[in-house]
Amino acid sequence: MNLKNLSYWQKQSYFKSVDLTIVGAGFTGLWAAYHFLERFPGANVQIFESGPFPMGASIKNAGFSCFGSAGELAGDLEEHSVDHLLLRMEQRVKGLAYLLERVPRKAMDYQASGGLEIFTDPIGFAKVNDKLDFLNQLIAPITEEKETYNLKKVWGEKDIYCKMESMLNPGKLIQYLSENVAQKGARFHFGCEVVEVKSGYVWLKNVPDPIPSECILLATNGYSHNLVPSVAIQPTRNYVMLTQPLPKIPIDFPVHHHQGFVYFRPLDGRLLMGGGRHISLQTEFTSSQEIPDNIKEWLINFAKENLHLDLANKIAMEWTGTMGYLEDKTPKCLKTDENVYWIGGYSGMGVGPSAHLSKEWVKDL
């Protein structure tokens, strides 16, 4: 559909004096609208979302209110600076605290379950265990816990328990935030793909006239490469499978394995399991939504060998989502033009950080 030029009436009604245009109705975009309307009540805020409803990682994820496993942190220390690691942990902790302050637990099915990291080989466990005291000390000023991680025998002989992990329902959280900002006046335009952005204007697919806006926030995370080529964000596929209801679920909290590359959790009497991209890292740097059969097969084998669950014929649903990866793994808020900003780069853990980064962005406006 080519809408040709906008009419006088369209410009006067929909697109007059827009204070903030947000591109993307995921957690980042919705939290940004939430904070902006709190700081500037009555502001004219519009949200363009290319899907008929939110279509990004925020509603395709696994519903871990992710803190991060000791294995992930130990792995990060080999590749990233301590400063970056601490910054990420601070973003996660502050974001999750803020989430709990503002969203009623029931509204997002929040479960303060704690979480487990499991190991299938003694060498892998020893490597992380050796660093456990150091990690606990390093992040204690952020978590305000002496022992954020501690050894616990739950699944295997040697598991690492983390009291900061929890679970939620991302679909409910998206709905809650959407309704909240709509009540405060934010206007949603679904099915509207933004194809170009310059200071003061956005362009929609099939609409030649630019849409004016005082301020613009790109909240497109893993889908940002075309809109903001200056940001080196890599779209990264992540696979999720959900079983049929099972007679017995082996766990009642979220579990990480292999630095968080593999994860599973209980969900409504089913098992949700996903990740596995470590077996094929390069092919998963893609925005393709195809099911990666090699990863699916690997996860099914993992469940058979380690959880003694034969899931081959028990998968009721499966999907993929697109994460946004940055080389230093650290989410960022960047100014890309005058009054144009980008927030993203959650590198697979965005539930907490999206609430925190968007809040800091609005504070600094």
The CA-to-CA distance between both ends of the chain, in Å, stands at: 36
Smaller CB distance to ligand FAD: residue 12 or 226?
226
CB of 135 to ligand FAD, least distance (A): 19
Does 223 bind ligand FAD (CB under 6 A)? Our answer is yes
CA distance 316 to 350: 26
Q: Which stretch binds ligand FAD (CB under 6 A): 3-11, 26-34, 140-148, 295-303?
A: 26-34
Does 240 bind ligand FAD (CB under 6 A)? Our answer is yes
Residues contacting residue 331 through CB under 8 Å, at least 6 positions apart: 88, 91, 343, 344, 345, 346, 347, 350, 353, 354, 357
Show contacts with ligand FAD in window 292-351 (CB under 6 A).
321-323, 344, 346, 348-351
Asked whether 45 and 52 are in contact (CB, 8 A), the reply is no
- List of E strands, 193-313: 194-198, 201-204, 207-212, 215-218, 234-243, 255-257, 262-267, 270-275
CB of 254 to ligand FAD, least distance (A): 8
Show contacts with ligand FAD in window 266-295 (CB under 6 A).
274
CB of 249 to ligand FAD, least distance (A): 17
Asked whether 222 and 342 are in contact (CB, 8 A), the reply is no
CB of 275 to ligand FAD, least distance (A): 8
CB of 360 to ligand FAD, least distance (A): 14
CB of 215 to ligand FAD, least distance (A): 16
Torsion over CA: 345, 350, 353, 359 (sign): positive
CB of 288 to ligand FAD, least distance (A): 13
Q: Which stretch binds ligand FAD (CB under 6 A): 59-67, 243-251, 281-289, 297-305?
A: 59-67
Helix (H, G, I), strand (E, B) or coil at 184: coil
Does 261 bind ligand FAD (CB under 6 A)? Our answer is no
Does 63 bind ligand FAD (CB under 6 A)? Our answer is yes
CB of 8 to ligand FAD, least distance (A): 25
Q: What phi and psi, each to the nearest 5 degrees, are found at residue 102?
A: -100, -25
- Angle among Cα 102, 167, 131 to the nearest 5 degrees reads 110
Show contacts with ligand FAD in window 86-125 (CB under 6 A).
none
Buried b (16+ CB within 10 A) or exposed e, 159-198: bbbbbbbbbbbbbbbbbbbbebbeebebebbeebbbeebe
Q: Which stretch binds ligand FAD (CB under 6 A): 58-66, 69-77, 176-184, 281-289?
A: 58-66
Does 55 bind ligand FAD (CB under 6 A)? Our answer is yes
Cα distances (Å, whole numbers) of residue 37 to 41, 95, 175, 185: 5, 18, 17, 8
For residues 33 to 52, the per-residue mask of contacts with ligand FAD, x marking binding by CB under 6 A and - elsewhere, is ---------------xxxx-
Edge-to-edge, what's the strand order for the sheet holding 340-344?
187-190, 45-49, 20-23, 215-218, 340-344, 332-337
Smaller CB distance to ligand FAD: residue 129 or 243?
243
Does 355 bind ligand FAD (CB under 6 A)? Our answer is no
Smaller CB distance to ligand FAD: residue 292 or 321?
321
CB of 85 to ligand FAD, least distance (A): 16
Residues contacting residue 356 through CB under 8 Å, at least 6 positions apart: 91, 92, 94, 95, 98
Binding residues for ligand FAD, rule: CB under 6 A, are: 23-29, 48-51, 54-58, 60-64, 66, 193-194, 219-223, 227, 238, 240, 274, 321-323, 344, 346, 348-351, 354
